[in-house]
Amino acid sequence: MSKVIIALDFANKQEVTDFLSNFENEQLFVKVGMELYYQEGPEIVRYIKGLGHKIFLDLKLHDIPNTVESAMRGLAKLGVDMTNVHAAGGIEMMEAAKRGLGDGPQLIAVTQLTSTSEEQMHHDQLIPVSLNESVVHYAQCAQKAGLEGVVCSPLESRMIKDATGDDFITVTPGVRPSTSDAGDQKRVMTPSQAFKNGSSYIVVGRPITRAANPKLAYDEIEEDFK
């Protein structure tokens, strides 16, 4: 199974269908995020699973523990392979999410978004420590809560594994081929750099989904990540 997760940041099912037609007879690992899920609902997950693909359902739950536990109980019924919460919700909330989800899917926690700079973290979140310290702390809280891993920048993957162990999963957006624009991501690496820095999985969207030849772009990124 590929360690490259394709972000299906599309507006509707038809766009998803058109894109996935480039990968007939190939099992992918894809990310369904807020944009697609809020337009199409749970049915889009069932549709993609029906095609045989693995799904990272990226909804970043962040609410009181009871609400998150109940929501996760519902998401577990969709048969997703991975989903997430915000680590900022705290250990109690993450433990509740794990209870609701059960033993099937992997549960990971978002540390700091890859669109967040250290200056923004200090100014907007009033977190006085360094961004690296914040990310590692969130990862340790997620591990304490029983989660399998975190979402982080590829720049932080190695220090997280040093603090938590090599079995702790790091799922890293903010990965771009050297020929691609960084877009709204601020903490980025190339696939090969992310591999060398310990990323367990990389999440790539526009460099694949908006490529002239998505299959070729995917194959090149997958090869680079090896």
- Catalytic residues, by residue number, are 60
**DSSP states of 151-212 as a string?**
E--GGGHHHHHHHH-TTSEEEE--B--TTS--TT-SS-B-HHHHHHTT-SEEEE-HHHHTSS
The span from the CA of 216 to the CA of 105, in Å, is 30
Tokens coding 51? 């095609």
Distance of alpha carbon 10 from alpha carbon 34, whole angstroms: 10
Specify the 3-state DSSP secondary structure of 59: strand
Closest-CA residue to 170 (of 187, 146, 144, 147): 147
The helix/strand/coil state of 52 is coil
Whole-angstrom Cα distance, residue 80 to residue 17?
A: 18
Cα angle 219-223-226, degrees, rounded to a multiple of 5: 145
